[in-house]
Amino acid sequence: MSLSHAQSQTSTTTQDIFNQLLEDVKVINNKATSSHFSMLEIELHQAFAAAERECMRKLLEQFDWDYPVFQSGNKTYRRASRNNKRYMTLAGEVELERTLYRTSRNGPTHCPLELNAGLIEGFWTPQAAKQTIHLVSLLTPVECENVFKEFGLMSPSKSSIARLPKSLSERWENKRLSHELELLNQYEIPADAAFFAVSLDGVMLSTRYAQVLPGDSRWAEACCGTVSYFNSQGELLNTQYLARMPERHKKTLKEQLSMHFDAIRERRPELQVVKIADGARDNWTFLDGELPGGECVLDFYHASQHLNEAMQIIYGKNSIEARSNHKKYRAILLDDKKGITKVINHLKYQQRKGVSHKKLQTEITYFNRHKSRCHYAKLKEQNKPIGSGIVESACKTVVQMRLKRSGQHWNDDGGQAILTFRALLLSKQLNAAWKRVEKFYHRPIETPQNVVKMRVD
């Protein structure tokens, strides 16, 4: 179906647009008895999309200026050129004339239309950009391109889609701390929260750079953090996700978690805190040393894995005795208030009996080092979490499912662009964050109080 008003550059009134839409709908209705409904549905969708593009074009024209000279504030804007430009809207691309101005000879140009309307990266309307960021946080640019084409409205190219998160992330990172602090202040902590849990973990990621530290391979550890809220019955209420590209000692992620921790303690000092991680020393240097107070918990499932390794050493790999003793002492570790002591005593007893394998001493050292973090029976009584499943799930959901697709290799800027907005999306904070993104671009020139239109003879 060919639409006569698809991209008209002539002066068209709003009434003309709706008259044309009515004509198109009549044509479609007249074909109802002779055409397949599926094709009519597509044609009707295209007719409304075409009308929406024309309405959007007229709406955008209202944000443009076309004066030889005008003043705004203490600046004088002189017309440099007037030409056509295409913009991406929710209904697809529209083309219209816009005027460019300069405030100094050979200086940079300013586009009132783009600044007044808050168009993003000189191409996207705000909501078109937001939908694209939402989708590219979930899918690759090629997949996004195909999805948009299937929807039959806007259809940006995969290269335009790929550039957008990088451009926005660069602006976001320039003032990341202030953005995150504002989001924290806006975030509503669940009213029935009784305690919150802080966790962090890492996931290996294929990178485009050769090294993070001397001797490193192309694989490097991206990192995830979570802040989760629970009620007094131990039910998970909400989770905020954080994710960063590989960085030594997870420096930025730890700064983010510290900021969350301090903000929560300031706003809700009555909330108890649980700090959960696997046995990595660096994790506990941070959780124990930089986040004061609270309950420290070694992830139970990692503890169980180390217990299983010890039993395999003592009773033989894959033996019935190893399996039965692992099951027995796993239950003791989980349910007995003195479980960790009994586990350590049993391992030491087996060592004295003659099991002198170095790996057994390694496991004994592991449990001794984390003894104060293994009070699982007490934690269960208090309905507090004993596992780091939330942050491990975050590693998979935030990083692996998007950044570890077949053939993908990432540099820091490209990977962080995806992780930032994907974490915000999964934390249900993208809408709040988008209000700050729009401020990057919405810098109106036209203000009725101080604009003086000037004629040039």
Contacts of 107 (CB under 8 A, 6+ apart): none
pLDDT score recorded for residue 72: 81
pLDDT score recorded for residue 73: 77
Mean pLDDT, range 164-168, rounded to an integer: 97
Domains, in order of start, for the chain: 69-175+434-441 (no CATH), 188-299+387-428 (3.30.420), 301-373 (no CATH)
pLDDT tens by residue, 43-59: 999 999 999 999 999 99
Residue 226 near residue 239, CB atoms below 8 Å: yes
In the numeric block, the tokens 């600046």 are attached to 75
Residue 224 near residue 391, CB atoms below 8 Å: yes
Residue 335 near residue 377, CB atoms below 8 Å: yes
pLDDT at 60 over 60: yes
pLDDT at 449 over 80: no
Q: 19-28, 380-389, 442-451: which has the minimum mean pLDDT? A: 442-451
pLDDT at 8 over 70: no
Mean pLDDT of the chain: 91
Q: What is the dihedral of CA 109, 114, 116, 119, to 10 degrees?
A: -140
pLDDT tens by residue, 232-286: 999 999 999 999 999 999 999 999 999 999 999 999 999 999 999 999 999 999 9
pLDDT score recorded for residue 7: 41
pLDDT tens by residue, 334-391: 999 999 999 999 999 999 988 777 889 999 999 999 999 999 999 999 999 999 899 9
Q: Give the closest residue to 416 by CA, choosing from 172, 89, 84.
A: 172
In the numeric block, the tokens 């269960």 are attached to 380
More confident residue, 7 or 358: 358
Percentage above 90 pLDDT, the chain:
80
pLDDT score recorded for residue 406: 87
pLDDT tens by residue, 403-418: 999 888 899 999 999 9
CA distances in angstroms from 234 to 139, 229, 382, listed in the order given: 33, 9, 8
Mean pLDDT, range 24-41, rounded to an integer: 89
pLDDT at 9 over 50: no
What is the rounded CA–CA span in Å between residue 422 and residue 172? 14
**Looking at residue 410, what DSSP letter applies?**
B
* Helix residue spans in 400-456 (DSSP H): 401-403, 412-426, 430-441
